[in-house]
Chain A
Amino acid sequence: AQSVAQPEDQVNVAEGNPLTVKCTYSVSGNPYLFWYVQYPNRGLQFLLKYITGDNLVKGSYGFEAEFNKSQTSFHLKKPSALVSDSALYFCAVRDTESGGYQKVTFGTGTKLQVIP
């Protein structure tokens, strides 16, 4: 069964330090992988998408994500965290090889707290 795991409910990081938000997935075929961010009292925003090709995907606001096929992971990273990065982050996977409709599954979300 298709699944997405975000093993950390919350990640705390000091401002200026690098941050990583973890995501692992399980799909039957080749995945499309996504990261979204939801700021307090603001809507959901798309950060980045992995389709194929380069394992390092660059997205909005200085974020990037590293696709690792052998570890079935798609961790979100940023070299230097900002207080304004504090938000709820969601990982999602879309199975591109399922017959008919392509199943889309979201992780449960990771709250990122950047400490000044």
Chain B
Amino acid sequence: KAGVTQTPRYLIKTRGQQVTLSCSPISGHRSVSWYQQTPGQGLQFLFEYFSETQRNKGNFPGRFSGRQFSNSRSEMNVSTLELGDSALYLCASSLIAGEQETQYFGPGTRLLVL
């Protein structure tokens, strides 16, 4: 079974631009979560989607948005990029079975904002 895939793997943008990152979960998984990892702020939770609905959201400004499609693939968008948005963006998928939930992470997208 294929793992979680994230595209692109590396991205360079300039301040003010926008970016869209994609995450394809493991087949059959309906939950997708997004995280940001930076040296300064560490790991932070961005969003969680389940069956196309945003189920949870972290404390990020409105420039950060996401969505999930009917095939469970998810995208996150960051508009008006700032230097501080440079980070590793991680996506995780999970098969929700009651409260027993194992997350599987993708390799991440490394975004550099210049």
Residues of A within 8 A of B (CB): 36, 43-46, 49, 51-52, 90, 92, 101-109
B42 within 8 A of A: yes
Set of chain A residues within 8 Å of B45, measured between Cβ atoms: 104-106
The minimal Cβ–Cβ distance linking B55 to chain A, given in whole angstroms, is: 8
Chain B interface SS verdict (over half): strand
User: Which residue on chain A has the smallest CB distance to residue B4?
Assistant: A43
Interface membership of B77, Cβ < 8 A: no
The answer to whether B44 touches A43 (Cβ under 8 A) is no
Q: Is B64 an interface residue (CB 8 A)?
A: no
CA distance in complex: A106, B102 (Å):
17
A-B contact count (CB 8 A): 42
Q: Report which of A44, A49, A52, A109 forms a contact with B90, defined as CB distance below 8 A.
A: A44
Interface contact B56-A102, CB-CB below 8 Å: yes
Say which residue of A46, A52, A101, A108 sits within 8 Å of B103 (CB atoms): A46
A38 to chain B, nearest CB (A): 9
Give B31 Cβ to nearest chain A Cβ, in Å.
Answer: 12
A46 near B104 (CB under 8 angstroms)? Answer: yes
Closest to B46 in A: A104
Q: Is B83 in the interface zone, CB < 8 Å from A?
A: no
Q: Is B108 an interface residue (CB 8 A)?
A: yes
Instruction: Check B101 against A49 for contact (C-beta < 8 Å).
Output: yes
Check: B43 CB closer than 8 A to any chain A CB: yes
Give bound CA distance, A52 to B98, whole Å. Answer: 13
A50 to B: closest C-beta gap in Å = 10
CA distance A107 to B44 in the complex (A): 10
Using Cβ atoms and an 8 Å threshold, which residues of chain B touch A108? 42
| Residues A101 and B105 in contact, CB atoms below 8 Å apart | no
Q: Once the chains are docked, how many angstroms separate the CA of A45 from the CA of B3? A: 12
Question: Are B42 and A43 neighbours in the complex by a CB distance under 8 Å?
Answer: no
A43 B43 Cβ-Cβ under 8 A: no
* Residue pair A46, B58 in contact (C-beta under 8 Å): no
Does the CB pair B43–A90 fall under 8 Å?
yes
Q: Are A43 and B107 in contact (CB under 8 A)?
A: yes
Which residues in B have their C-beta under 8 angstroms from that of A36? 43
